C-alpha cells in the first residue's frame, strides 16, 4: 500500500514513558552510563506497558524485576517481554600503530566498532594520533595479557612493524577464542610465520581461521584503501556472526 518495492514485516512496540516515572528515569540514566562505559546489559520492556527492567552483563537485575525475560544476545520478543541487548558495539584491537592503523581506526569507529590500538613504541602509541580510538595502549608484544586481556567477542587485526612481532602476537592470540583475527602481509611472510606457529604447537585448524592476507580483495594499495578493505571484511564477518543464533543478531531495535 506504500508503493515500496522491498518486502518484509515489521512488529512495532509503542511504549509510553511518563516524565514523572522515577523508575524510568533511573533505568534510562543507568543505561546511558553503561553505554558510555561500553558495559553490556539488557533493557527489558513489558508488552503490557508495565515497569521495565535493566539487567547487567550477567543477567542480574540492576533496576526493576527481571522476571522471565530471555537473556539472549539478540533482540527477543515474547508474549510478555521484549528484551534488547545494549548496543555497545564490538571491540576491535589493532596491533601496530602505523599508517594503516591511522586510516583504519576512524573507519571502524564510523561503523560501530570500538577500536583499541596497541603498540610497543611510545612515540607511536600516542592517543593524540588516534582521537577515534576507545583506548591506546603502549605495551609489550611478548606479553599482551598483562596490559590488554582479550575476550571471545574481540576482533583482532595484526599489522606490526615486523615478522617477529606478528609471530609473537599470533602465538598468544591463537591459543584463545576470538571473534575474528586478521593479519597483514605477503604470502611469503604468511608462509614463514605459519611454519613457526606450527612449530610452536598452533594447529592447522586454528591457522585456517586467520584472515590473511587481511581484507576484502579489492586490489588495495594505499593505507586508506587497505583500511577500506579490512573494514569491509570485518563488517562481513560481524554480519555472519550476527546471523548465527549463538552470537549477535541484527542490531536493529
Q: Could you report the per-residue pLDDT of 211-249, keeping only the tens digit for each?
A: 999 999 999 999 999 999 999 999 999 999 888 766 544
Q: State the chain's mean pLDDT as an integer.
A: 90
What is the pLDDT at residue 29? Answer: 95
CATH no. of 90-243? 3.40.50.720
Percent of the chain scoring above 70 in pLDDT:
94
Q: What is the mean pLDDT of residues 183-203?
A: 91
Q: What is the mean pLDDT of residues 28-32?
A: 95
Question: CB of 41 within 8 A of CB of 137?
Answer: no
Q: Classify each residue of 221-241 as buried b or exposed e, where b means 16 or more C-beta atoms within 10 Å of its C-beta.
A: eeeeebbbbbbbbbbebbeeb
How far apart are the C-alpha atoms of 244 and 234, rounded to whole Å? 15
Q: Could you report the per-residue pLDDT of 62-119, keeping only the tens digit for each?
A: 998 876 666 777 788 888 899 999 988 899 999 999 999 999 999 999 999 999 999 9
Nearest to 47 by CA among 24, 78, 70, 75: 78
Q: What is the DSSP pairing of strand 61-63 with strand 90-95?
A: unpaired
What is the pLDDT at residue 3? Answer: 74
What is the pLDDT at residue 253? Answer: 36
What is the pLDDT at residue 68? Answer: 65
Q: What is the mean pLDDT of residues 125-152?
A: 95
Residue reference for cell 528484551: 83
What is the pLDDT at residue 247? Answer: 54
Q: Could you report the per-residue pLDDT of 140-166, keeping only the tens digit for each?
A: 999 999 999 999 999 999 999 888 899
How far apart are the C-alpha atoms of 130 and 144, rounded to whole Å? 20
Domain ranges of the chain: 22-85, 90-243
Amino acid at each position: 500500500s506504500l508503493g515500496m518495492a522491498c518486502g518484509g514485516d515489521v512488529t512495532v512496540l509503542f511504549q509510553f514513558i511518563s516524565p514523572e516515572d522515577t523508575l524510568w528515569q533511573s533505568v534510562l540514566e543507568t543505561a546511558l552510563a553503561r553505554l558510555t562505559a561500553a558495559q553490556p546489559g539488557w533493557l527489558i520492556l513489558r508488552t503490557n506497558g508495565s515497569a521495565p527492567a535493566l539487567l547487567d552483563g550477567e543477567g542480574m537485575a540492576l533496576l526493576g524485576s527481571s522476571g522471565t525475560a530471555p537473556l539472549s544476545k539478540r533482540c527477543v520478543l515474547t508474549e510478555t517481554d521484549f528484551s534488547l541487548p545494549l548496543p555497545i558495539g564490538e571491540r576491535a584491537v589493532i596491533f601496530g600503530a602505523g599508517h594503516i592503523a591511522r586510516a583504519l581506526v576512524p573507519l571502524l569507529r564510523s561503523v560501530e566498532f570500538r577500536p583499541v590500538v596497541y603498540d610497543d613504541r611510545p612515540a607511536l602509541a600516542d592517543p593524540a594520533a588516534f582521537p577515534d580510538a576507545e583506548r591506546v595502549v603502549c605495551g609489550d608484544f611478548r606479553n599482551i595479557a598483562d596490559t590488554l586481556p582479550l575476550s571471545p567477542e574481540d576482533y583482532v587485526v595484526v599489522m606490526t612493524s615486523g615478522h617477529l612481532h606478528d609471530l609473537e602476537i599470533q602465538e598468544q592470540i591463537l591459543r584463545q577464542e576470538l571473534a575474528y583475527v586478521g593479519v597483514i602481509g605477503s604470502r611469503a611472510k604468511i608462509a614463514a610465520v605459519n611454519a613457526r606457529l606450527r612449530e610452536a604447537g598452533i594447529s592447522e585448524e586454528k591457522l585456517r581461521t586467520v584472515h590473511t592476507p587481511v581484507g576484502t580483495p579489492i586490489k588495495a594499495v594505499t593505507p586508506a584503501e587497505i583500511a577500506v578493505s579490512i573494514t569491509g571484511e570485518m563488517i562481513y564477518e560481524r554480519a555472519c556472526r550476527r546471523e548465527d543464533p549463538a552470537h549477535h543478531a541484527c542490531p536493529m531495535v
